[in-house]
Structure formats: structure tokens, C-alpha cells
Structure 1
Amino acid sequence: MDSKQSTPLHAPDFIVIGSGSGGGVVAARLSESGKYKVLCLEAGTRGAGYIWTRPPVGGGMMIESPEVNWCQFAQPNPDLGGRRVYVARGKILGGSSAINGLIFNRGQRLDYDAWERMGCTGWSYRDVLPYFKKLESTDIGTDDYRGRQGPMKVTTASKTSPFYDLFMQSAQAVGLPLNPDYSGSTQHGVAMAQINVWKGLRQSTATQYLEPARKRPNLTILQGAHVTGLLFEGKRCVGVRYRRNGAMEEVRARREVILSAGAIGSPQLLELSGIGNPAILARHGIPVVHALPGVGENLRDHFGPSVQWKFNRKGLSLCDRGRGWGLVREVLSYVFRRKGFISQGLATLRVFTRSHEGIEQSDIALLVNPFMIEVRNKKRLMSPINGFFAFAQVQRPESAGSSHIQSADPLADPAIHYRFLATEKDRRTAVMAVRRAREIAAVAPLADVIAEELQPGAQVQSDEDILAFIRRAGNTTYHPVGTCKMGQDPMAVVDPSLRVHGIAGLRIADCSIMPMIISGNTSIPAMMIGERCADMVLADAGRPAFPAVPASTAVPATQLTPELVHH
């Protein structure tokens, strides 16, 4: 492990907790002007050069690795027959953006327009589109919708198998249009995925925001710094307490603390610090700093089963290229040419479709791969079975759970309660998602190359049997949101400026602020939230009405020795 010392940074203007899709953007943007000192605290010890984070297919090696992942489990779920769902969260520089499947997906216009109708003033699609454009650089689509000069490079996944054209032709045969830019005017249709990959390498907040920014003397990044609590003076957040190298440290912010620990980590830290439902805090002996009953509530995620088919001929599945000599050839192709399936993300064919006629936009997504996955030694690898799968999920689930502390110990996992399929609408849409996947597979030319349906199997036909299959086999796509939701109702945790209600000097910038889950992957929307948050913080920092903490009270309680750690 190499370390690079920087000038000791006392009393930073801003402290950012977390370096992921939200926090990494906030920290980098706040440091750009050179006017303010910024401290970014990341619990993970691995950096942007970690061996598995750069090759896109490396996500499969990190999804259950405690070296770079929190590796938590939800509580037994009554909606799923008591199963405990795995909860993956990045614990590495770049957070989950450094371990995810690399899919670029903003969601739909109606997602953000719905946020504004729910009381999130200034978060309509028209308001957030400039920030989506600001963060990306791509040659996809038109200038009306796409950015050309941002830090995140976006490309279209390559067709690494003839399977892709067969699937897309069958999708068109059942009425789905080809959609060359699902981040443009409409998401509806079938398309190759847009991915955060450039020249065969992952683009994360670590590589695109923090690594360039860490050259600035006013930005300090501390890795291996597990924040355990927030510091308050009355109803103002003035700093944080964290554990690093076995020792407890404190550091105070002259201006603001921005919490970006994700939809599981952010409510946990609020509750540990005395912000939340008083009954939950009292249960664990935590004094109430401010009562906010919505903290930890409204947990949502994308959920669905993997529908699987077996091919009747070779050359379509990538299974032989993921094992033995086929894998050796793929590795050589990647090392010397940055080509092949190693250079792609996961689920690189996307279908966005409607469960029924009459709804405004797609409410079902199919995430398709020309291979199948099996877990061996906590690593997700290609199955030797010559087939493909479609992960069939509900785009905008109504069912909401919660995530709360179950101990005052900051190192203890929270109690994550998912409530998938809790509403009739979610159950109907989930069943239709499986039927839509089957509908495409049942027509030529795709039908001509299928030997059989492996999962759930041809014998599973009734709505009741399909629902039972979903309960038995369904899983998340690791998109938790909503636990510190934005709004102005009694259950809202932050206002439209992302300030925590009732607390000065504290904002939240991650997926926890989403009042409703978006119709797509959450990493890019979290980066948009980070971009917006940084603009809001910088705007307020220039206003006399926003007082800074006096320098005399902004000295760390213990020595802060910032290290910029490279791996």
C-alpha cells in the first residue's frame, strides 16, 4: 500500500461522508474553485487502482467480497417465504460506482416530474436534465438530451454474440421499437445498454471525479475512515467522529457536513447521532437531538426473478468464453486490445416495456445477458450451461420497507426490512414482467434457437404459480433508495435543498433522498444529486446569511493526519 502525505488539513470548510456516486461528486465539485478546504471520508481502504474495479466484468468478483463490500443481509422477509436478501454496498473509493454493473440509466422524465408533484420543488425533469448533461460525455443521442463535456464517459455496449440481434428482432416482432437512446426523449423500447466504460475501463466517481481532484491541495481524502457519529452544537451539525487505524478521531467543519453514505448508511448514521424516530432511539439508549420519524422509512428497491432459457445450438451463449481456454482467449483479448466481454458491463441488453396499455411510460424492465450466472466461493461466475437469462423487474414499485439501527454500536449492521410484493399492483406488474420476457422468447427468430425454458419452466403458467416463483427466486438489483426522503410532509427528512429538516449545517446527497425510486439504475441519478448538492452548497456558502462555524471552535478534538492513500 502506497501512501502520499499532504499538508495537514485542520478545520475543513466542508466534510463529505462517503466517496460514492453522490459523495465523490460533491467532494470533487466543492474543491474545484480552490476557495474551500474539503475533507472526504471513506470507510473503504481500496482505491481506484484495485485489481477488480477497472475491468468492467470485475463487478462479479466484488459483489460478495468483504474486501470492498459491506456484505450485509436484510432481515427474513415474510413476502419471500422468510428468505434473507443479500444487500451489496461498495466499501471502496468510489463506493458502489466502483463495484456496480456500469449501466448508465437516468430513469424517465415522469420519475422526476413526480418528485416535484410530491413536494420536491425544483426537482422536475426540466430542472435535473442540465445536471445529467453536466456529468456525462458521450456521442450518443442529441444535444437536447445528452452532455458532451462531462467527466463520466458513456458508450454503447458491443454486441459480443449473435444473440443480441436475435433477441432484438424478436422484441420488435412483439411490438417493441428499437431505441438507440433510452436516455433521450423516451425510455420505451429495446436497446443495447449504455455503459460507463471507456476504452475497456470502468468509469467511477473514483476515476473520473476524485483522482483528478485529489491533486488539488484543498482536497483531502481519508480512506479507512469509518464515520461513527455526527457532532452537534445545539441543532447545528459541526463535525464528525470516525474510527481509523483502530483509533477514534474527531474533526469539525467550518461550514457544512454532507452525508453521502447511501440509503442504508445514511439513516444508520443519523440514528446513531440522535436524529430519527424517538421511539427507535430510546430503544437503544440514544438521546434525541432532533425527532424525524421518516428516518429509515420508505426503503425501496428493484426486485425480480431471473427467467432462464437453454439454447439448442452453440455459438450464441458466452458460457464457453467464460471458462477454460475460451476465458484465456478473452483475457488476452482484453489485456492487449481492451475488447471482448470482459470490456462490457453486466446485463448489456435492455428492454423497457409496459405491463398493460394505457399507462404513460414503461413500468417493466428486462435486463438480458447471453449467459447464466452461478455463485462459487462467493464469486459470481458464468455457468457452463449454454443459455441466457432475462432479469424481469418492476420499475416503480410501491412496496416500501425500512432500515433502522438494531444497536447503539456503530459497527453493528442495521436491520434492513424489505417489503417486496406487498401491494396488489406490484404483484400484478411482477407477474406481467415474467410474461413479457416469455412473450419475446416465444417468437422467431429467438424462439428458433431455444431448446427449453429452464426457469421457472413451462409447467409454471398461472398468475399464482408465477407469483410463487417470483417469491422463491426473486432478488434485488442493489438499488436501495428512499430512507431519508426529500419533501415537506411529516415523513420527509430533507428539504428540496437537501438540508436535514430541523438541523443546520447538515445535508444529504445520495439515493436515500429519493421520495420514489426511479425507473432505472441508481448510480447516475445519485451523481446528478451530487452535482445539484454541490451547486446548492456553493451558492449558500457565498451568502452572509449562512454563518460559518467560528474558527476557534472548528479545531479537531484529536489530531487529524490526512493521508491520500493509493492502492
Structure 2
Amino acid sequence: MSRSEAYEYIIIGAGSAGSTLANRLSEGGASVLVIEAGGSDRSPLISVPLGWGRIFPRRLFDWGYFAEPEKNLDGRRIECARGKVLGGSSSINVMAYVRGHSADYDRWAASGLAGWGYRDVLPYFKRSEDWAGGEDAYRGSGGPLTTVPSNYVDPLADAFLEAGETAGHGVTQDYNGARNEGVCRLQWTIRKGRRCSASVAYLRPALTRRNVTLKTRSLVHRVILEGKRAVGVEYSDGKEMKIARTTGEVILSGGVINSPQLLNLSGIGDPEELARHGIVCHHALKGVGKNLQDHLSVGVEYGRNGDGPFVDRLRYDAIAMAMAQAFFFGTGFATEIPGPISGFLKTDTSLVQPDIQLLVTFIPSESRPWFPGVRPRPCDAFMCRPVMLHPESRGEIKLRSSDPRDAPEIYQNFLSEPRDWETMRRGIEMTRDLVAQKSLDPFRGSEIQPGTAVRSKSEIDEYIRRTAWTAHHPLGTCRMGAIDDDMAVVDTELRVRGILGLRVVDASVMPDMVGGNINAPVIMIAERAADLIRGMAQKTNLSMNVRSDELGEKEAHHAG
């Protein structure tokens, strides 16, 4: 084992949270070590937005996780794609920029999580972004993360917006602004035609500083504890075991699966679970790995009358040229995602906030490159996916063994609560109603799946069991909680309860689901965590309150 080195901060994981922390914590000259299990994010498939269509099916730059068989989904092992690369999941996701609803954060604050209400977190959302529309009471300008509205050109997009109005859902021009509810055009983390991941936005600038050290393709085996204090980590780089020590803090940013796994491997967790694998319990925290939540979705697909712009551009020669144009010049068709429409909808008008997110893609489900005489041209189609935003079902992460190289056991427990079934059924019903609107008549072909014959409750349930899949927003396995919450893993400042010098900063600390994609909230959490670590959180909130009157007026207008 080689001689150890000392750093003020050791960050485990260079994903959305880890990249953000590396940048912010190193700004003042503190020495920072970032340890990442994956490798470089320089692949054209990552940097070109349309490359996502190759990354996901092939599970590239990915840990390759699958959940254990799901009894409510016909025993299927649902994949759980998580980024194993610089930038983490922000380097393999679909690049949607979604903050969630203001009620999500106010709910956190009302549960006893002081400092996590909407007014508390909004300054960090604003600080993180550089919104193409410019700064206002809700949006930020000049931040590291470039955010832009979808510019995908297809008349079907405008038809969907009109359908949102006639179906009674309304249209929102900025779902990350004053009005979250309604059908809308999505917003992306794309900069000059290329993916703007957390690595691009935060980590690469940080690596220009001499006080930041990055170790890639290195796996952390455990956090080193001396009594009740974290003093370093033990990791391997594929060749030998190494030790890195800290004079300040160890910060776990491995994500919703790897962070609880590492806590357990370090002897922090449920004593019974640790004993099952022969691990000495250094500190009992029964909530480690519990409270797993994710967004479940199901697809409703329609044939398309006529042809949209996407299928023709999927010809081998056309798509190859588009990828090259995007990679070298940041222009052309491959710089856009053919899924420009979303929606945040309520299954019941009495709800405080939307409980369904609609994701609409303008591509056939069996989409792949084609060429005359080699592979037939696919028939055009579009798919609407209702996503359940606030599931009641809860899963957990468990160790498979005491070997850090063994993937943990993932139990999603999807649809284990009756209300979740009802929400999914209602989501399909609302999707069908939306697509039936007059504005979509010129485009709508036959319903491919589940098919018009599938109507009864039992038939819909069978379709859900057979086809539902994750929207890839898992969270909650090291959740924060109030001081009297026995199952909380971290406190409101994200410090592991009962252990000094150890924090968790990633999606695992969220207590429950936010209403949408989670990359933006994870970056917000890391932005705020950096201020908490540096003792600057109150100063940041005070400096951003100068526009609170304007914010209040817009909120009141929206509520009215």
C-alpha cells in the first residue's frame, strides 16, 4: 500500500454533485481530491446530444445496474442506468433541465428540514444556471450550467401545445419559472450545440486550478474512521490499494446506489445488515439504503400520419454527417433532441401540484439507422410517456457482499402501494385524452400500444406490468431528516448523523420525490452544500432576497 496524501476535502464521485462541489470548494484555494470510478467524458457520443440514442441502449459509460425481479412488473429486472464517467449521470442523461415544483421544497421545509424551502433553494438554482432567456426573479444568468429552450422544428410540437390548451391543462412558457403546470416545450442543458454536463460546466474549469486533483478509474473501498470521525478513504486504482487522508471532510457523492453501499462497506448502517456480510458496525444508522424512490413511466405510442423530420435523417449517411457536424461545429440536426414536448399535469384538480409528467418523443420506439437495401426505413411514430411524479411505494438498497466491486442489490418495489396503480391508470387515460384533441388529427395514426382494444382496468394493469419502466430518477437512500427522525441518515446540513467530517451530497439525501427530472435539483443541492461547508449559506440567501417582493407577486398571481 502506497504512502497516503492529505487534502482538505475528499469528494467521492465526479457526477453532478461531485463536479459542482469540486468547483465551489476549490474556489478559495482549498485542496480538493476527486475520486471517480469511471473514465473520460470526451466521447462524441456524450458531447453530441443525439448520441444519447446510442449510449442508453448499449449501456455505455454506465455501472450496468439492474434491480432485483419486480413482482408487480411480471418479475422483470428493470435496468437502472447510472453514469460511470466524469459528469456521472449528467453525461448520459437526456439533458432535460427541470427543477420541480415550488411545493416540493416547501414540503421538505414543512417536514422539519429548515433551510430547504423554495425561497431557500431558489438562489442556488439561479446561481447554477446561465439561462438563454436572461435573468429574472426565477431564472439565473452567468452561472456555469447553460440552459436553453428546445428549438426542435416539427409542426407536431405546436399541435401538442394547442392540445394542452383544449384538453384543459393549459400551456406554460417556462415550467421552471412562475408556472410549473401545463404542457410545454422542454429545456435542455446544451451549450453551443453540445451537452453541457456537470463535468463541462463545473469540473473542467475546476481542473485548471492547481489545488484540485482528479483520480479516474479508481474505486473507493471504504471511508476510514477513527472513532466517530472520518479521516480519509481507502481506494484502488486497478493496480494497488491507496489511502487518501483529509484535514477537513470526506464527502460522498457516489449517487443513490453507491453512496449507501459505501456507507455500509465502511461499517455505517443497519447492524443486522452489516452482520449478514461480516462487517463490523462502527456506527448504527438503520436508514442507510432505505427510502428508495423512482419515477415509473409507461409508454402510449401512436403511428404518425405522414412523415416528421426525424426518420429521413436517420439514414446512415445522413446521421453520420449530422453527428460529425455537431461534434466539430456544434450545429445541425444532431444538436437537438427529438423529444421537445413535456407536460406537468394533475390527475385531480384538487391537488397542490402536478402528479404526472408527460414526456413526448417524436421518434418510433424501434428507431435505428436505416439505408435502402441494408435495413428498411422504419414507419414514423410518436410516443407519450406519463410519468408518476410522487409515488408512495418505497424500495431499498442492500449489500450483495462485502466486496465493493460487487453491485449492490436494488429493490425498487414499484407499484407496491394501491394509489400508485391508480395514478398510472389515470396517466394513461389523460394521455389518450390529450392525443385525441382536434389539433392532433392531422398527425395521429392508430394507437400502436397498448392499442385501442386495451380499455378495462385489468387490461391496463396487465399492460403496465408488462411494459412499465423507470424514468431514471432514483433518490432518497441516505435521506436527510429532522433531529428526531430515527431513519434519517444526514441532517439538514447533509452531515452523516453521529459521524464527524463526513457528509453525503447527491440525490440520495432527498427525502422524497421532486416533480420532474432530478439533475437540476442535485446540482442545486451541491451548490447549497458547498455554502454550508464553507459557512456561507446565510450570506447567499440574504444576498438573493433583494427580489423577494417580485417573487411573491408572481407566486400570488399564479395561485390566483
TM-score, scaled to structure 2 = 0.91
Which of the residues 193, 208, 212 maps onto 1:215?
A: 208
2:532 aligns with 536
Amino acid corresponding to residue 118 of structure 2 in structure 1:
Y
Deviation of the 1:109 alpha carbon:
0.4
Root-mean-square deviation (Å): 2.1
Structure 2 distance, partners of 1:67, 1:221, is 22
Taking the TM superposition and a 5 Å limit, the aligned residue runs for 1:361-510 are: 361-374=353-366, 384-488=378-482, 489-510=485-506
Judging changes above 3 Å, is the alpha-carbon distance between structure 1 residues 318 and 206 closer, same or farther for their aligned structure 2 residues? same
Structure 1 distance, partners of 2:142, 2:528, is 17
Amino acid corresponding to residue 359 of structure 1 in structure 2:
L
Which of the residues 273, 277, 283 maps onto 1:284?
A: 277
The answer on whether the counterparts of 1:372 and 1:383 sit within 8 Å (CA) in structure 2 is: no
Instruction: Report the structure, 1 or 2, having the larger helix content.
Output: 2
Structure 2 distance, partners of 1:188, 1:459, is 31
Amino acid corresponding to residue 280 of structure 1 in structure 2:
E
Deviation of the 1:100 alpha carbon:
0.7
Structure 2 distance, partners of 1:184, 1:312, is 35
Amino acid corresponding to residue 269 of structure 2 in structure 1:
G
2:512 aligns with 516
* Identical-residue share of aligned pairs (%): 40
1:192 aligns with 185
For residues 209-260 of structure 1, the C-alpha deviation after alignment (integer angstroms, 9 at most, x for no partner) is 1111111111111111111111000011111011103211111101100000
Structure 2 distance, partners of 1:78, 1:375, is 29
Amino acid corresponding to residue 486 of structure 1 in structure 2:
M
Judging changes above 3 Å, is the alpha-carbon distance between structure 1 residues 218 and 142 closer, same or farther for their aligned structure 2 residues? closer
Deviation of the 1:425 alpha carbon:
1.6
For residues 409-464 of structure 1, the C-alpha deviation after alignment (integer angstroms, 9 at most, x for no partner) is 11001000011111122111111111111111112121332220001000011233
Deviation of the 1:312 alpha carbon:
2.1
1:24 aligns with 19
The reply on whether 1:320 has 2:312 as its aligned counterpart is yes
The answer on whether the counterparts of 1:153 and 1:197 sit within 8 Å (CA) in structure 2 is: yes
Amino acid corresponding to residue 11 of structure 1 in structure 2:
A
Q: Which has the higher contact order (CA 8 A, sep 6+)?
A: 1
Which of the residues 230, 240, 250 maps onto 2:233?
A: 240
For residues 449-496 of structure 1, the C-alpha deviation after alignment (integer angstroms, 9 at most, x for no partner) is 222000100001123321221121110011110000000211100000
Which of the residues 343, 346, 352 maps onto 1:354?
A: 346
1:544 aligns with none
Amino acid corresponding to residue 277 of structure 1 in structure 2:
D
Deviation of the 1:330 alpha carbon:
3.4
1:77 aligns with 70
Secondary structure at the aligned position of 2:425 is classed as: helix
For residues 51-75 of structure 1, the C-alpha deviation after alignment (integer angstroms, 9 at most, x for no partner) is 2111012222222546511011100
Structure 2 distance, partners of 1:67, 1:335, is 18
The answer on whether the counterparts of 2:229 and 2:500 sit within 8 Å (CA) in structure 1 is: yes
The answer on whether the counterparts of 1:317 and 1:370 sit within 8 Å (CA) in structure 2 is: no
Amino acid corresponding to residue 252 of structure 1 in structure 2:
R
Which of the residues 15, 39, 46 maps onto 1:45?
A: 39
For residues 190-224 of structure 1, the C-alpha deviation after alignment (integer angstroms, 9 at most, x for no partner) is 11111000110110111111111111111111111
The reply on whether 1:12 has 2:7 as its aligned counterpart is yes
Amino acid corresponding to residue 353 of structure 1 in structure 2:
L
Judging changes above 3 Å, is the alpha-carbon distance between structure 1 residues 540 and 227 closer, same or farther for their aligned structure 2 residues? farther
The reply on whether 1:105 has 2:107 as its aligned counterpart is no
Residues 118-127 or 258-267, more deviating: 118-127
The answer on whether the counterparts of 1:317 and 1:371 sit within 8 Å (CA) in structure 2 is: no
Residues 37-46 or 338-347, more deviating: 338-347
Deviation of the 1:328 alpha carbon:
4.5
Deviation of the 1:26 alpha carbon:
0.7
2:558 aligns with none
The answer on whether the counterparts of 1:320 and 1:384 sit within 8 Å (CA) in structure 2 is: no
1:545 aligns with none
Secondary structure at the aligned position of 1:252 is classed as: strand
Deviation of the 1:175 alpha carbon:
1.5
1:206 aligns with 199
Judging changes above 3 Å, is the alpha-carbon distance between structure 1 residues 470 and 341 closer, same or farther for their aligned structure 2 residues? farther
Secondary structure at the aligned position of 2:35 is classed as: strand
For residues 502-553 of structure 1, the C-alpha deviation after alignment (integer angstroms, 9 at most, x for no partner) is 1110000000000001001111100011111111111289xxxxxxxxxxxx
TM-score, scaled to structure 1 = 0.90
Taking the TM superposition and a 5 Å limit, the aligned residue runs for 1:103-182 are: 103-140=96-133, 143-182=136-175
Structure 2 distance, partners of 1:413, 1:214, is 30
Amino acid corresponding to residue 17 of structure 1 in structure 2:
I
Structure 2 distance, partners of 1:287, 1:383, is 59
The answer on whether the counterparts of 2:4 and 2:242 sit within 8 Å (CA) in structure 1 is: no
Structure 2 distance, partners of 1:447, 1:464, is 29
Structure 1 distance, partners of 2:32, 2:203, is 12
1:183 aligns with 176
The answer on whether the counterparts of 2:152 and 2:336 sit within 8 Å (CA) in structure 1 is: no
The answer on whether the counterparts of 2:172 and 2:184 sit within 8 Å (CA) in structure 1 is: yes
Residues 116-125 or 324-333, more deviating: 324-333
Taking the TM superposition and a 5 Å limit, the aligned residue runs for 1:246-265 are: 246-265=239-258
The answer on whether the counterparts of 1:46 and 1:92 sit within 8 Å (CA) in structure 2 is: yes
Judging changes above 3 Å, is the alpha-carbon distance between structure 1 residues 240 and 422 closer, same or farther for their aligned structure 2 residues? same
Structure 2 distance, partners of 1:72, 1:247, is 25
Structure 2 distance, partners of 1:452, 1:484, is 45
Structure 1 distance, partners of 2:377, 2:5, is 52
The answer on whether the counterparts of 2:13 and 2:253 sit within 8 Å (CA) in structure 1 is: yes
Judging changes above 3 Å, is the alpha-carbon distance between structure 1 residues 383 and 438 closer, same or farther for their aligned structure 2 residues? farther
The answer on whether the counterparts of 1:373 and 1:383 sit within 8 Å (CA) in structure 2 is: no
The reply on whether 1:59 has 2:52 as its aligned counterpart is yes
